[in-house]
Structure 1
């Protein structure tokens, strides 16, 4: 009994200690919850610094920017004018050749034989013409002598030295000789025409022989060869594609009103791989396409400029906009409700809805909502709000 007293005392002390700790914790919580809260003082944010722009009227030169790929300024799809078997292929794609170089050749044996025959016929005709001219000279001499004989016999007829039969025979012989002269004169007169016919036959045969060769029509590069040795070339079928790529051009489809302002020979700007080039308008389609109402405009680059197949952009001038209101493009805030600008008025912003026109470079034409002399925020408008206090940053 006496031994159990210390244990009871120890438990009592622990319970008392826990009770004191609980009371102390409750007191702390009560003090925290009932202490006076500090008063919150609202401080106005400083005004935002903005860059201002004063709206003025100005002249703007809009342009239409069209794109296309560069192609050689001259291309040809070559075909034989006769049918024949290909016996020689002299080139391959990519070969650079001068004008007149042979590309393909056909079997020309028949053409050479025809040319030889025509040349022989021409030589025979020339010999015949020379013979007729010589015979004509001889016949005229015979006529002269026969006329002399007829006159002599007529003089002797009064003395009865020449019979009437002899005189008649002499006159008949003269008539025969004159007929021969007339025949030979006709032959000689037609000699030049006969020679011309034979020469034409030679020229035609020579042309037929030339048609067995397909030649380069200009200095340039071979793009594609469609025939091989042994193939039968058909007259009119494309055999070789060639191009002159010393100068390149781009074909654009421009709106009719844009094309109407251009003139052949006019200089325009072409942007090729970040480089601006001065190019020339060389062709403008006269009648617009009825489906798209566009016209083809061909712009040619200087010699040696550009690369075949490269994409370029061309700027074509549009009608000048005179004395229009415009603000920097960066001054506009766009959303589903339209376009807005922030007008600066007495140190605060006023969100103003505007009606816009075309964009010209870094300028946006304003149709409605602003007047000349108004001051608007020039840029960085996304984070601004209506009624916000601002100060204008010095320029």
Structure 2
């Protein structure tokens, strides 16, 4: 009986010792895991100040562009300019045969003189009360009509000469001498020369992010023409459409600049417009830039639409923090902090986050020579 009790006590003691040994082993293993220091690439959180440069395809357009036409019908007897020449405001560009118009002026002048004489007689007779007021009024009306007809005839005669409404360059000529043209038929195209426009198309999503206060600010983007890649032009915002292109859903934005005299900038030329976005768009609060590989999804959140980064404590221990991913850019991943959990100059894991555990201690990884 005593042997049996002794045997039972030995078994119990053995079990207790095994449990104590197992507990110590698991505790030691956990402690060893915590003490594992893994090398990791580390980056510093930077502010997303929107300083990235966005490139737009640009097309040169004339600031002033007019299709010139005669206001009367007639035969062209002189065309004094050709396409490509510069003209001054008021310069004669073309003339119509004006013989019929001069004749109409003479006829109108003769009728006016006749009506003037008749009115003068009627005025004298009316003062002497020899005619009724209705006869006097009729003479006055006939004189007014004759004067209007004379003015119209003189105006039509002036319309036989086509003059430049502003200084510029003749872009196109549509007619030849001795052609018979109709009133308002385009004769030639005149474009301004002092300044030219450059137009770009801005997507609606980007247009919506530009505050109204910055739409007409003094910022001047940089234009580089494909035909003149070694020259930069500073352009000034002039106007923009408030309705989008129905096909592209983009808005036309127009800038203007004055090209140097020694550079021939023509409508239709293309180039690139470089815009510093921080000059136009205010970055939202708590928005930062981190390396793209800093943002990851831990296995325990697989399938969820969430984004996380590992932030390091002063002791280089990882802390898992959820962030909002705004977009990916050339700078890196643009993220927004949640509840101020990320700040500028914080350190984050820059690569291999999925291989690191939460609460794990890391050491900055340094690239060895020759690797």
User: Are 1:266 and 2:217 an aligned pair?
Assistant: yes
- Kindly report which structure 2 residues correspond to 1:1-395, keeping only aligned pairs within 5 A, or say none: 53-56=43-46, 58-60=48-50, 65-137=55-127, 139-140=128-129, 180-182=130-132, 185-260=133-208, 261=210, 263=212, 265-273=216-224, 275=232, 277-280=234-237, 282-302=238-258, 307-308=265-266, 309-315=269-275, 317-327=280-290, 357-359=326-328, 362=331, 364-366=333-335, 372=343, 373-376=346-349, 390-391=365-366
Shift in alpha-carbon separation, 1:276–1:84, aligned structure 2, 3 A? closer
How far 1:216 sits from its partner (Å)?
0.8
Distance 1:67 1:50, change over 3 A: farther
In structure 2, relative to structure 1, the CA distance for the partners of 1:365 and 1:101 (3 Å cut) is same
Name which one, 1 or 2, has greater alpha-carbon Rg.
1
Give the distance between the partners of 2:330 and 2:117, measured in 1 at CA: 82
For 1:312-337, what per-residue CA distance to the aligned partner results, in whole angstroms no more than 9, with x for missing partners? 405263452322231368999xxxxx
Change (3 A) 1:200 1:328: farther
Task: Name the one with the larger helix percent.
Answer: 1
TM-score scaled by length of structure 2: 0.63
1:375–1:327 distance in 2 versus 1, CA, 3 Å: same
Maintained 8 Å contact 1:125/1:194 = yes
Quote the Cα distance in structure 1 between the aligned partners of 2:325 and 2:216. 35
- List structure 1 segments (4+ residues) > 4 angstroms apart after TM superposition: 49-52, 56-59, 61-64, 302-306, 328-332, 339-347, 385-389
Contact 2:55 2:272 in 1 (8 A): no
Question: Aligned in 2, Cα 1:192/1:181: closer, same or farther, shift over 3 Å?
Answer: closer
Asked whether the 8 Å contact 2:94–2:162 carries over to 1, the reply is yes
TM-score normalized with structure 1 length: 0.60
Judging changes above 3 Å, is the alpha-carbon distance between structure 1 residues 58 and 287 closer, same or farther for their aligned structure 2 residues? closer
Query: How many residue pairs were aligned?
Result: 290
- Determine helix, strand or coil for the equivalent of 2:242: coil
Q: C-alpha deviations, 1:224-270, integer Å up to 9, x for none?
A: 11111122223332210110021111222222343343656333432
Consecutive unaligned residues in structure 2, runs of 5 or more:
1-38, 225-230, 296-306, 317-322, 357-361
Three-state SS of the structure 1 residue aligned to 2:81 is coil
8 Å Cα contact 1:248/1:301 also seen in 2: yes
